[in-house]
Amino acid sequence: MNKLQWFLSCCIGIAAIAAFVISWAVRTSFDTNTFERIPRPDFSSFSNVTEKKQAFFDYMLPSVRQANDLVLKDRERVVRWQQAFETRGYLSERDLSQLDSLAARYEIDAELDTDEKLEFLALRVDMIPASLALAQAAKESGWGTSRFSRDANNFFGEWCYSEGCGLVPSRRNEGAMHEVRAFDDVDDSIAAYIHNLNTHPPYRHLRELRAKMRDAGEITGISLAQGLSRYSERGPEYIGEVQSIIRVNELQSLDRSLETAIE
């Protein structure tokens, strides 16, 4: 082998190693942001209550955390825009375009000024603690056994108002038009639940409570549940039941600190 052949052989070898390293890095990065979906258990088949609850939490928690991580990544952009706007007094055209897109997704008036949009986004783009999401899912779906959770992947009792958008409740009042919304999978149900709490007017108090908790350095489900007075017609009684589920099942430990919310 002459020097030229040796040099070309080395280059090919280095290129192959580099390609492997890049491929490994891409796979590793992807794997940290996804999870392997476990098969959905038949929750009605459990005779042991403790095992049933654990199966429910094991099934739901990965999706809750994934949905929250996506929201928190959007929040990181909002914080960056706020800092840039406070420093320079304006945002780049690219940032303004992305800001307007996110504001539309979070149902914020397009006519508002940039600083007003940022203020609304800071309130709306944030996580829902895992303990609260799991407790409400358990409450609303009967621990995954309700008809709506089984047949429509609806774990949070969300309604929709166009014919055929979901399942018609068997005890719907005469003249009522709502249906229980159908979702393709549990991930969509959780994402819609978080979006509902983050955008709809009845949960403004919840969002304000969360903002105060963030300023204090801790967002917990058992405290944030106080903002759910309008989630159910039963108001305070409903809040107490959700908080009880969190306490009895010791779900508080699932609420990651703000410093480690995205890992």
pTM, entire model: 0.83
The residue extents of the domains of the chain are: 47-256
Whole-number pLDDT of residue 37:
74
Residues of the chain with pLDDT under 70: 1-36, 166, 170, 172, 174-177, 257, 259-263
Structure tokens at 179: 């249906």
Structure tokens at 74: 């959007």
Q: Give Cβ neighbours of residue 120 (< 8 Å, ≥ 6 apart).
A: 103, 106, 108, 112
d(CA 78, CA 90): 14
Cβ(41)–Cβ(59) below 8 Å: yes
Whole-number pLDDT of residue 198:
98
Alpha carbon 160 to its chain centroid, in Å, reads: 19
Whole-number pLDDT of residue 192:
97
Cβ(199)–Cβ(104) below 8 Å: no
| CATH number 2.30.29.30 is the correct assignment for the domain at 47-256 | no
